[in-house]
Structure 1
Amino acid sequence: MTEAFVPLLARSLPALVLEAAARHGERIFIEDGDTRIDYAGLPARVFAVSRALIAHGIDAGDRVAIWAPNRAEWIIAALGIHCAGAAMVPINTRMKGAEAADIIGRSGSRILFVVDRFLDTDYPVMLAGCRPPTLEKVVAIGEAGPHADTDWAAFLASGEGIDEAQARARAEAVQPGDISDLMFTSGTTGRPKGVMSAHYQVIQAFTAYVQIAGIRAGDRYLIVNPFFHTFGYKAGWVTCLIAGATVLPHPVFDAEAVFRRIEADRISVLPGPPTLYLSMLAHPGLTQTDLSSLRVAVTGASTIPPVLIERMRRELGFDVVLTAYGLTECGGLASCCEADDDAETVALTSGHAIPGTELRIVDADNRPLAAGETGEICLRGFHVMQGYFQDGKATAETIDTEGWLHTGDVGTLDARGYLRITDRLKDMFIVGGFNCYPAEIEAALTEHPAIAQVAVIGVPDERMGEVGCACVVPRPGQMLDEAGLIAWSRERMANYKVPRLVRLFDALPVNASNKVDKNALRAQLRVPA
């Protein structure tokens, strides 16, 4: 049984834990296999993590990282970090050891919670050869093994000497403006940058999301989107905490498994990419499967056919189908459709600005454009990031003196204030839902001893949407083959970043500024611009 949403008073995530526990009591917060954690029992679970962090010397403002797939311990660890007054640093599970080590090191994370094995990969082993010296303790979620310092149970036991009252006092000391998380996002200029967000920003934005989508206490929310991303973290389990819903983590996207879980687990809220819903509609068991529990669907900013929205409502039974737009630098949510918007609006736009947010479109000289004109999407409001961690220059390049966040995305606003995304950062491409930035991939590829110069572009791919193509100029006298470079890349970068194609050049085309002309490259390779 679901019930209408009543706004909360909490302005920090620790306060949210306590208020949700008092309000929702015996309702289940997390249901993960045999693990059931109700709202009433949540504070004790969370404070157990905080007590261990305090015992280790973690202070307010310190950073603690999590490198694991969607599971109950991820949420409990994150909330324990928040309640200790520290900033949580999520790490993409697709990253290789060196990539994770870079983020752990630059963030100054003192403790890492890491899964022992996931998808046949030993994560502590991957990190062992490049572990930053600032990382004091590796806590394995699962078996500790020789490359982790302790396991989950032993770490929690280490905090038993800290009184729960001390942990509660630390949690109550957390202020709305304190940094809640440091989420590293790739940019157009090389290494990922750490986006700093505050507690109140998360709660205010996703309280609006709960109200717009109509998510209620008692809803059962299957979270397929990874917790290391704002869609799985803030629009996922934090949203459940705000609404009093139940989190059902799903660690790996598998359309068949998701389809079966809807009936078995009586899922009512199911966000995901358009491909998820398309696979459900094409499933041979569609008419024989009970999907009557489904109520709310939320997908990304991609333009999708209006007929898909109509079919999701008619054939899958969703009462509410929404599209939204956001980026890490604004906490993941800037605009959203309304529940009663028509199918064409939902499919072809990303809705209007959420309360407390302004949207505008500007030209190359930062001058506002009229409705219907195309330019860069800028936004301003309560949820714009505090800045990039220890990178004032990049912060100033992204947030102008009037407080407008320049997204780098291109779009239009119609007369109603509804946003339509028409393009994106010139060079960025998306592989299976993951943003890929050529500068970051190129920086990694230039370490190959046989490469003199490289440029990476996205090319269309039927299955993944786009994949990377590495355009390479070999060093004189060096031999380079496609399979060898791809294999070399797989050892050093997340799978979605690995180029799927390699093309050899004697020289790369350049423009008048002597920069690589990627439009000319696309033309040579006959790739649509």
Structure 2
Amino acid sequence: MDTIPAVLRDAAERYADRPAYVEDGQVLTFAGLLDRVQRTASAYRAAGVGAGDRVVVWAPNSTACAVAILAVSWAGATLVPANTRYLGAEVAAIAERVDAALVVVEDGFLGRSQVAELRAEGVARPVAVLAEVTAEDLPAGEPFADQPGPDDVADILFTSGTTGRPKGAMSAHRQTVGVARAWGELGGVTAEDRYLVVNPFFHSFGYKVGIVTGLTTGATLYPLATFDLERTMALIETERISVLPGAPAIYQSLLTAPGREQRDLSSLRLAVTGAAVVPVVLIERMREDLGIDQVVTAFGMTEAVVVTMARDGDDAELVATTCGRAIPGMETRIGEGGELLVRGDFVTLGYLDDPDATAAAIDADGWLHTGDVGVLDDAGNLRITDRLKDMYISGGFNVYPAEVEQALLRLDGVDDVAVVGVPDERMGEVGKAYVVGAASAEDVLAFARTRLANFKVPRFVEHLDALPRNLSGKVLKTELRK
């Protein structure tokens, strides 16, 4: 069972009548999930999708989105998820890059017309609306003889590099299934768990350790399209949610929520967080005030999904100050300059159509050079101390300053710009743009909102006469961060 279709078939047999997804009171059993996935895959095939093709899915968390994602694999194709906050231009670029056979969208999300945005960008390839390709009355079709094997590429998740050019990290089916299974086992997730998925399905945290972990464990998933504090608390209380992974901002919001004391959140037993520096007091309050027995932190990246993870029983300080130990199948070591190196079963196969970037990231011995500086204690617990790369994390999303800087440099009145992450109590980090030129802060932010997803838009703008640079001309971002 090293492919997504095989795991889905097994889950449908083992947990047939148990709920796989619950959304707005609607329950879809595991057997029903398999049926809908098969019908949706038939719709993909009818739309011209063949084995080995790539399908972009641009949609928020929902049962229909999960069906769409799983149907890509069932149809023998490769999944390419797109960030729901992206603008049409960003998704159009991805679709072009992968030569997508089909783009599946949730039209109307956040009051936008995703289809119109894609057409405005001149996307000529087929675009399908999610509701139309995941409908229950679609014909079932014939079983496909050309379903993928364990070594076939299951998904391509795009991440920008420090050059600003998007890179597509490829994972085989055995890797996507393996990391989902490992995460579930470490968290002790079972078919008795009710798993609230706030992490977006377009991200490895929501897709691989959300959707796929649901299949490997039999847990019931409750997808949330956007994080809404009242709705989240209501779901925890009424549905007796037991598993809630997410960025630190989610738990901070719960802890400070008005009326939380009147809510019964005692069903929560497992919380997995990371993606930002986690204060020790937050871990303590998650255990004491929210009553979550198992609070762990983890380290991962698009190129390896989950690398290290704390374990049940680790004390609050260890959980807050480290990212835990390497998970089964993975190993870590510290290389030259203190850089964290990672090797193992779940390291990406490489970057799509980019052998140079692949060779630069993964050395001849199979070690992935993460670009993060860290230390390992005697027990192998990882502590990230700095970043070789300039990437920062805002609300759980990776932001690459080079991409933001390239966008801002297109604005008249911006002669030079550098973007860094600065601490933010709720989001972990937010962007600050240091601008040289006559453009006002208001103009810079307004321009950014028309070119970039909202989490990439800087929160602050400061004007400088000149950016600090070294003798070779490189911007001294350490000086800006001070």
TM-score (ref. length: structure 1): 0.87
Aligned match of 2:212: 238
Q: Which shifted more, 33-42 or 435-444?
A: 33-42
Matches within 5 A, 1:389-408: 389-408=352-371
Secondary structure class of the residue paired with 1:16:
helix
Question: How far did residue 425 of structure 1 move?
Answer: 3.6
How far, CA to CA, are the matches of 1:11 and 1:463 in structure 2?
A: 38
Amino acid at match of 1:451: V
Question: How far did residue 308 of structure 1 move?
Answer: 3.1
| Cα separation, partners in 2 of 1:480 and 1:312, compared to 1, 3 Å | closer
How far, CA to CA, are the matches of 1:163 and 1:256 in structure 2?
A: 42
Question: How far did residue 125 of structure 1 move?
Answer: 2.0
Question: How far did residue 284 of structure 1 move?
Answer: 4.2
| Cα separation, partners in 2 of 1:468 and 1:282, compared to 1, 3 Å | closer
Q: Which shifted more, 229-238 or 454-463?
A: 454-463
- Specify which of 74, 83, 87 is matched with residue 96 of structure 1: 87
Amino acid at match of 2:334: I
- Specify which of 390, 393, 404 is matched with residue 430 of structure 1: 393
For the 8 Å contact 1:431–1:496, the answer to whether it is kept is yes
Matched residue count: 482
Q: Which shifted more, 444-453 or 80-89?
A: 444-453
Percent same amino acid among aligned pairs? 49
1:95-126 deviation line (CA, Å, top 9, x unaligned)? 11111111111111121111111122222222
Question: How far did residue 463 of structure 1 move?
Answer: 4.7
Aligned match of 1:84: 75
Matches within 5 A, 1:223-372: 223-330=197-304, 332-364=305-337
- Specify which of 39, 46, 63 is matched with residue 37 of structure 2: 46
Query: Does 2:363 correspond to 1:382?
Result: no
For the 8 Å contact 1:376–1:410, the answer to whether it is kept is yes
How far, CA to CA, are the matches of 1:291 and 1:481 in structure 2?
A: 46
Aligned match of 2:19: 28
Secondary structure class of the residue paired with 1:79:
helix
For the 8 Å contact 2:184–2:217, the answer to whether it is kept is yes
Question: How far did residue 301 of structure 1 move?
Answer: 4.9
Unaligned runs of 5+ residues in structure 1 are: 1-9, 143-150, 365-374
Secondary structure class of the residue paired with 2:435:
strand
Matches within 5 A, 1:460-471: 460-471=423-434
Aligned match of 1:489: 448
| Cα separation, partners in 2 of 1:238 and 1:452, compared to 1, 3 Å | same
For the 8 Å contact 1:301–1:349, the answer to whether it is kept is no
Amino acid at match of 2:86: M
Q: Which shifted more, 313-322 or 41-50?
A: 313-322
| Cα separation, partners in 2 of 1:489 and 1:304, compared to 1, 3 Å | closer
How far, CA to CA, are the matches of 1:88 and 1:426 in structure 2?
A: 27
Aligned match of 2:478: 519
How far, CA to CA, are the matches of 2:59 and 2:36 in structure 1?
A: 18
Secondary structure class of the residue paired with 1:485:
helix
Question: How far did residue 493 of structure 1 move?
Answer: 0.9
1:370-396 deviation line (CA, Å, top 9, x unaligned)? xxxxx1111100111010000111111
How far, CA to CA, are the matches of 2:288 and 2:444 in structure 1?
A: 47
TM-score (ref. length: structure 2): 0.95
Runs of 4+ in 1 over 6 A off after TM superposition: none
Query: Aligned-residue CA RMSD in angstroms?
Result: 1.9
For the 8 Å contact 1:281–1:316, the answer to whether it is kept is yes
| Cα separation, partners in 2 of 1:447 and 1:229, compared to 1, 3 Å | same
Question: How far did residue 254 of structure 1 move?
Answer: 2.2
Q: Which shifted more, 85-94 or 124-133?
A: 124-133
Aligned match of 1:19: 10
| Cα separation, partners in 2 of 1:107 and 1:240, compared to 1, 3 Å | same
Aligned match of 1:146: none
For the 8 Å contact 2:371–2:388, the answer to whether it is kept is yes
State which structure, 1 or 2, has the greater radius of gyration over its C-alpha atoms.
Answer: 1
1:183-225 deviation line (CA, Å, top 9, x unaligned)? 0012111122111001111111121111111101121100011
Question: How far did residue 428 of structure 1 move?
Answer: 2.0
